[in-house]
Amino acid sequence: MAVSVPGVYVEELLEAGVSVGSGPTAVPVFLADLGSGAASVVRLNNWLEFTERGEEALASVTGLVLRGYFANGGGYCYLANTTGRTPAQALADLEAYPDITMLLAPGLWDRGAQTAGEWAGALVRYAAAHKAMAILHADRDQDAAGAAAAVAAWDLNEFAAVYHPWVQQPIAGGETVAVPPVGVVAGTWVRCDSARGVWKAPANVALQGVSGPTLKVSDTDQSEHPSVNFIREFPGRGTLVWGARTAAAPATAGDWRYIPVRRLFNVIQGDIQTALKTVVFEPNGPATWEAVRAAVDNYLYNLWKQGALMGHTPAEAYFVQVGKGVTMTDEDIKNGTLVMRIGVAALRPAEFISLEFTQAVAAA
């Protein structure tokens, strides 16, 4: 402040407060055998960048899956090279990319069921530890029961979603080729997030760039195997993603059986944890507690206003608690531990729509 005469001057300084922003919700990484000369991880911003790799890459399973991904609304993504790497080594390469929220392996079944199970388990463990989701697929020749059996054998949880069957993708010359469904599914996740939000179930969505599924699935198939999300063809509507379940065991999953519920909590936890890093080493007292409470309350209020949470009022949709005697003891405070408790009423997808009709019969 520049002053020219004696006196008392007050200057108000605007200090940065705590705020919770929204990070990316749908950024996939495609783990695939890209050859010994390929980089361990590379970012792809669009389909054109991949086409520069040549005809051989375009004709590969990874190329076809990526084409389906971008055709269905996919944005930027990552390619991770698995050549000569164990699952642990390949996944360690991803630590430098915290924006990744979806993990896919187009060639999951290339080396048989045992290897597929090892990779599936590794992807899901990584997803659970990093607030992400693994999008998996059953083998091409499995029927609905076989796909469900594979899911059960893998012993997956709510950080995974399995899709089946494969899809028919047109190629040059008017022919079609069977392609794992994970690419087109990942594209619909991105498209739904962009159009509606992560809380919208990525289902009942028409797939682009496919001529249909490789296997016809019935209502009975789907009702008997709820842990698998099926790709189905409906007359007049095209090929749709028809399911929004995680791979968690139905008997114990609770609300975690729904993809949008798990993903919404992943996003909320990630956004809040990122924001609260700004108050590390701040005084663990009422001023800091109120700053973080207000920031998180504002973040959740905005989610509620967008329709992400259930409840007619903010009080019904969420709560934020922090303070001595509320979430922290004297010992917590002495140890520098700030404890915040958050409750959120997540929306669940309307899977089963029941109609009731009554017929008024005129008296004789």
304: helix, strand or coil:
helix
Helices vs. strands in the chain: H and E counts, helices first: 13, 14
* pLDDT tens digits for range 51-83: 999 899 999 999 999 999 999 999 999 999 999
d(CA 164, CA 282): 50
pLDDT for 334 equals: 93
Confidence band, pLDDT 50/70/90 cuts, at residue 333: very high
Q: Which residues pair with 133 in a beta bridge?
A: 102
* pLDDT tens digits for range 122-177: 999 999 999 999 999 999 999 999 999 988 999 899 999 999 999 999 988 889 99
- Could you state, in order of their start, the residue ranges of all structural domains in the chain? 28-261, 280-344
d(CA 126, CA 243): 24
d(CA 344, CA 6): 55
Task: State yes or no: pLDDT of 33 exceeds 60.
Answer: yes
* Continuous segment of H or E residues that includes residue 330: helix 330-334
Residues 6+ apart with CB under 8 A from 225: 144, 145, 147, 148
- Rounded to whole angstroms, what are the CA distances from 174 to 62, 168, 181, 239? 20, 12, 20, 19
Task: Say whether the peptide bond before residue 165 is cis (omega within 30 degrees of 0).
Answer: yes
- Rounded to whole angstroms, what are the CA distances from 255 to 114, 138, 245, 269, 364? 30, 24, 10, 17, 51
pLDDT for 15 equals: 45
Residue with tokens 């969420």: 318
d(CA 274, CA 277): 6
pLDDT for 158 equals: 95
